[in-house]
Amino acid sequence: MPLIEIKGASKGFGHPGSRTEVLNNINLSVEEGEFIAIVGYSGSGKSTLINLISGLVKPDSGEALIEGKKITEPGPDRGLVFQNYSLLPWLTVEENIALAVDEVFKEWTPEQRKAHVAKHIAMVKLTPAAHKLPKELSGGMRQRVSVARTLAMNPKVLLMDEPLSALDALTRAQLQDEIADIWLTNKTTVIWITNDPDEAILVADKVIPLLPTVPATLGEPMFVNMERPRDRKAINHNPHFKKMRSELISTLLEAKGRTKMKASVKISLPDILPEDLNTPNSYQMLGRSGPKRRSDKNREEVEVAA
């Protein structure tokens, strides 16, 4: 039995009339110990997909299962690493992790919990910063705390929602390697969402593109058969890596090219019209805008690539 299974799930947001379908007919099956990366464009529904598994979002149709049981609410067995870290700013690194540990391992003694917290701070190499507040840490360090907090809950699956996309390229590369190393030692199941094809191929064993059709759907999985640990310098010349990357990118681009959609866009044109003096202008004293320029009102239907 797969650890995580999504069967024919679809999800949309909004009320009837102004509703947008985000995901359609998602089928995914994750075995225990797998490292899966899902690659897609920004805004194509990646976060919604991972939230189906985390339980923060419920599917409109179809179902999401963990160990054969339906996912109805969030829980500590599915550790979610947020894109923007989501550390509580009034708690130190240690307290942030302890909040999770104390909640999940209520039956442990305080000493056990303390040791568990310390172990995970050490795992992400932040022991010297254990008593600092999040605002005193760099972005990379914050995300390491967030990873440590999630791993400390001993989740069955680690859900990473674009964990590194807020970081600069160098920190990003370093953290990719660090997280891959951590995975090698404890082999937790990982579902990693990203918008970077290179990152996906570099860290994961199986890469699934999220095709940016409207609504989005999952493409065919690709398997990465490369030795671990992967050397990011050598990998650029690896023919398998190059082939996979071009395949992945062309799959995504192709799907995008197929979908055009209409959107109403406000266009700001250069203002060459004279002010419309017939428009009432009585509020100027109160700091409201004065006469309207006709060009302010332009709204046009344009065709854009989704």
Partner 1 sequence: MNILIQKYKLDSIFLPLLAILVTCIFWYAIAGKSVVTEKVDDFGDKIKITKREGLSADLPTPAETWTASKPYIVEPFAKRGELDQGILRFTWMSLVLVAQGYLIALIIGTPIGFFLGLSKQFTKAFDPIIQVLRPVSPLAWLPLGMILFSGVKIMDGEGRTTFGASDAAALFTIAICAMWPTVMNTAVGVRAVPVDYLNVAKVLKLSKWKTLWKVLVPATLPYMFTGFRLSLGIAWLVIVAVEMLTGRPGVGGFLWQQYNANSYAHIILCILTIGVIGYVLDRLMSVVEGRFKTA
Residues forming the site for partner 1 (CB under 8 A): 54, 56, 73-76, 78-80, 82, 84, 86, 88-90, 99-100, 103-104, 134-135, 153
Residue 21: enclosing H or E segment and its boundaries? strand 20-30
Q: What is the dihedral of CA 236, 242, 245, 249, to 10 degrees?
A: 120
Q: How far is the CB of 99 from partner 1 (least distance, A)?
A: 6
End-to-end CA distance of the chain: 37
Cβ proximity to partner 1, 66 vs 153, nearer residue:
153
Q: How far is the CB of 84 from partner 1 (least distance, A)?
A: 6
Cβ proximity to partner 1, 143 vs 217, nearer residue:
143
> Residue 264's closest CA among 232, 298, 300?
300
Q: How far is the CB of 259 from partner 1 (least distance, A)?
A: 29
Cβ proximity to partner 1, 95 vs 177, nearer residue:
95
Cβ proximity to partner 1, 67 vs 103, nearer residue:
103
List the structure tokens of 54. 């985390």
Contact 224/205 with Cβ under 8 angstroms?
Answer: yes
> CA dist 21 to 11, 48, 191, Å?
6, 11, 23
Amino acid at 248: L
Cβ proximity to partner 1, 161 vs 198, nearer residue:
161
Q: How far is the CB of 73 from partner 1 (least distance, A)?
A: 8
DSSP β-bridge partners for residue 157: 78, 189
Q: How far is the CB of 160 from partner 1 (least distance, A)?
A: 13
> CA dist 105 to 76, 108, 152, Å?
10, 6, 10
Q: How far is the CB of 144 from partner 1 (least distance, A)?
A: 16
Cβ proximity to partner 1, 146 vs 194, nearer residue:
146
Q: How far is the CB of 50 from partner 1 (least distance, A)?
A: 12
Q: How far is the CB of 212 from partner 1 (least distance, A)?
A: 25
> Residue 172's closest CA among 202, 147, 140?
140
Contact 131/92 with Cβ under 8 angstroms?
Answer: yes
Residue 210: enclosing H or E segment and its boundaries? strand 206-211
Cβ proximity to partner 1, 12 vs 75, nearer residue:
75
Cβ proximity to partner 1, 6 vs 53, nearer residue:
53
Q: Which residues of 77-94 are buried (b: 16+ CB within 10 A; e: fewer)?
A: ebbbbbbebebeeeebbb
Q: Is 204 exposed, middle or buried (0-12, 13-18, 19+ CB in 10 A)?
A: buried
